[in-house]
C-alpha cells in the first residue's frame, strides 16, 4: 500500500501524463479507462506520520483454517462477506496441493478444501484461502465500489479498512498465514535493471537470506559452475523476454525477489506505458508469514502500512557503494546513495525480533481448551495417573523450551495483573513445585512424554 493507490495490474490507462513512479508514481498498466474519483495510481495507500510516497501493496495472501468448508460453510460466511464475492458465480475446479476441490471465487481468488492428506497435525480438516496479485487488486476495487457514493469517498481509507477487516477476521477465525507478499515498486528509473544487475553480480549488498540456486549461464561461470547453496548469493534469471530477476532466500522462511515488472507484464500481453518498473518483493512464508500479520495489522490501524512494507524491504537487503570488502566486512561498507534516496529515510524493520503479539497467553489458553484438554483426559484415563501429575510433567517439558521471547510474553501478562516477573527457568520450576524445584515422575509417564 502506498501513498498512491494501487489499482489493478491490467491494461493501460489512457492518460498521457508522465508516470513518475517509485516515490510519487502512477501505476502504468491500469485496466479501467479512468481511476475512481479519489484514487491516485500506485499502491494501496496510506498517509503515514511522515510524509512519504511509495508504491507498495499486499500482492499475495494465503491463510489456512482448521475447518472444513464442506462441513462448516457457515464458518466462512463473514470472511466471504468481507471479500464481497458472489458464490453463485463461483466454479468448482479440480483441487491442488492435495486438496480435492478448488473453489474459484474470482480471478486469482480461491478456496481449497477436501482430501485426506490435507489435515493439520491434530487431524482436523483444513481449508485454504488464496489471493493472488490480481485477486488483491480486484478486492480493493470491490471494496471501493461497494461504498455508497464511492466517488465522494476517500479511496485510501476505504482500501485500508478493507485489508484491516480481512486480516482481523482471518485472525479471529484462528487462520494461519502461510504466505504474504509485500512489494515496493520503483517506476522512476532511479534504480534500473542494469544497476541492480551490477550490484548483485559484484556482491555489493548485505542480506540475512542465505540460499542460492545458480540458474543461468553467467552465474555458472562466475561461481565456477557451483549449483549448491552458497551463503548470501542470489538466484538469477536473465531473459530477453521476461527480463532480469534476482531471488534471495528460501520458500522455507523468507525471500526477496527483485525483478523487471515492466517486462513481466509486457510478456503477458499488457500494455505498460512506463520505461522502467522495478519491483522489490518481500515474501514471508510459514512462521515468518504468521509472525508478520499482527505487525501488518498494527500498521494498517496506524495508517503506516506503506512505511512498514518499505521497512521490511530495508531489513531484507542493503545495497552498498562499490568496495573491496570481503564477505566478513561487507556490512562496514557505505550504503549505496541511490538506495538511501529510494528508501526515503525509512529504517530497517525487524518485526519478528522484538515482540510477540500481546494476546499470545490468551491464545495459549484457547488452544489448551480446544486441543490439549481432551488429550490430557485420554492420557489420564489410560494410565490412571492423576491429571495434575500429567500437567506438571508437561510443564517441566515446556520449561525446557522456554526462550527469551517466551519470557517477554509471560512477564508482560504478569505485570499487567500486578504479579512479579519471572526471569529464569529455575524460577518457573520453583513456581510450579515449590523451592525444591525438582519433581519425579513414574517411568511410564516419562516414556510417554519423551520427545526427540
Bridge-partner residues for 186, per DSSP? Answer: 278
Residue 437 burial by CB count (10 A; 0-12/13-18/19+): exposed, middle or buried?
middle
Q: What is the pLDDT of residue 210?
A: 62
Q: What is the pLDDT of residue 127?
A: 97
Residue with cell 493501460: 12
Residue 32 burial by CB count (10 A; 0-12/13-18/19+): exposed, middle or buried?
middle
- Tally of residues, the chain: 452
Residue 186 burial by CB count (10 A; 0-12/13-18/19+): exposed, middle or buried?
buried
pTM, whole model, 2 decimals? 0.67
Q: What is the pLDDT of residue 293?
A: 94
415 in the Ramachandran plot: left (φ > 0), alpha (ψ -120 to 50) or beta? alpha
Q: What is the pLDDT of residue 209?
A: 76
- Per-residue pLDDT of the chain in tens (452 residues, 90 and over written 9): 644 433 333 333 333 333 333 333 344 443 333 333 333 333 333 333 344 567 899 999 999 999 999 999 999 999 999 999 999 999 999 999 999 999 999 999 999 999 989 988 888 999 999 999 999 999 999 998 887 665 667 888 889 999 999 999 999 999 999 999 999 998 888 898 899 999 999 999 998 776 544 343 333 333 333 333 445 677 888 766 678 899 998 888 899 999 988 888 888 777 777 788 899 999 999 999 999 999 999 999 999 999 999 999 999 999 999 988 877 788 889 999 999 999 998 988 765 433 333 345 766 777 777 778 888 888 889 888 888 888 888 887 787 777 766 777 787 778 777 888 877 777 777 766 665 545 566 777 777 766 54
3-class secondary structure per residue, 334-367? CECHHHHHHHCCCCCCCHHHHCCCCCHHHHHHHH
Amino acid at each position: 500500500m502506498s501513498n498512491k493507490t494501487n489499482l489493478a495490474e491490467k491494461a493501460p490507462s489512457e492518460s498521457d501524463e508522465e508516470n513518475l513512479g517509485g516515490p510519487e508514481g502512477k501505476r502504468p498498466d491500469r485496466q479501467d479507462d479512468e481511476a475512481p474519483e479519489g484514487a491516485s495510481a500506485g499502491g494501496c495507500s496510506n498517509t503515514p506520520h511522515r510524509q512519504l510516497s511509495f508504491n507498495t501493496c499486499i500482492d499475495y495472501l494465503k491463510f489456512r483454517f482448521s475447518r472444513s468448508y464442506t462441513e462448516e460453510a457457515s464458518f466462512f460466511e463473514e470472511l466471504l462477506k468481507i471479500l464481497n464475492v458472489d458464490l453463485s458465480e463461483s466454479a468448482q475446479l479440480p483441487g491442488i496441493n492435495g486438496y480435492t476441490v478448488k473453489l474459484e471465487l474470482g480471478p486469482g481468488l480461491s478456496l481449497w478444501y477436501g482430501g485426506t492428506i490435507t489435515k493439520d497435525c491434530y487431524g482436523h480438516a483444513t481449508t485454504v484461502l488464496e489471493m493472488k496479485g490480481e485477486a488483491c487488486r480486484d478486492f480493493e476495487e470491490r471494496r471501493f465500489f461497494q461504498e455508497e457514493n464511492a466517488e465522494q469517498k476517500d479511496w485510501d481509507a476505504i482500501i485500508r479498512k478493507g485489508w484491516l477487516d480481512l486480516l482481523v477476521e482471518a485472525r479471529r477465525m484462528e487462520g494461519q498465514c502461510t504466505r504474504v507478499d509485500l512489494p515496493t515498486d520503483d517506476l522512476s528509473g532511479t534504480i534500473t535493471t542494469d544497476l541492480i544487475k551490477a550490484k548483485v553480480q559484484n556482491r555489493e549488498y548485505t542480506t540475512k537470506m542465505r540460499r542460492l540456486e545458480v540458474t543461468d549461464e553467467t552465474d555458472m561461470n562466475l561461481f565456477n559452475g557451483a549449483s549448491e547453496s552458497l551463503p548470501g548469493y542470489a538466484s538469477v534469471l536473465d531473459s530477453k523476454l521476461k527480463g532480469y530477476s534476482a531471488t534471495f532466500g528460501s520458500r522455507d522462511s523468507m525471500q526477496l525477489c527483485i525483478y523487471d515488472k515492466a517486462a513481466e507484464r509486457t510478456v503477458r500481453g499488457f500494455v505498460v506505458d512506463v520505461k522502467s518498473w522495478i519491483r522489490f518483493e518481500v515474501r514471508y512464508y510459514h512462521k515468518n508469514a504468521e509472525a508478520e500479520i499482527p505487525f501488518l495489522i498494527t500498521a494498517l490501524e496506524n495508517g503506516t502500512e506503506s512505511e512498514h512494507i518499505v521497512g521490511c524491504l530495508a531489513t531484507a537487503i542493503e545495497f552498498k557503494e562499490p568496495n573491496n570488502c570481503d564477505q566478513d566486512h561487507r556490512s562496514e561498507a557505505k550504503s549505496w546513495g541511490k538506495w538511501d534516496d529510494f528508501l526515503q529515510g525509512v529504517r530497517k524493520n525487524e518485526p519478528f525480533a522484538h515482540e510477540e503479539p500481546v494476546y499470545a497467553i490468551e491464545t495459549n489458553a484457547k488452544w489448551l481448551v480446544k486441543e490439549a484438554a481432551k488429550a490430557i483426559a485420554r492420557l489420564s484415563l489410560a494410565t490412571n495417573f492423576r491429571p495434575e501429575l500429567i500437567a506438571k510433567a508437561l510443564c517441566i517439558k515446556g520449561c525446557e523450551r522456554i526462550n527469551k521471547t517466551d519470557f517477554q510474553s509471560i512477564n508482560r501478562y504478569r505485570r499487567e495483573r500486578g504479579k512479579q516477573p519471572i526471569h529464569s527457568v529455575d524460577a518457573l520450576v520453583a513456581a510450579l513445585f515449590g523451592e525444591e524445584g525438582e519433581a519425579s515422575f513414574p517411568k511410564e509417564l516419562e516414556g510417554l512424554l519423551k520427545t526427540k
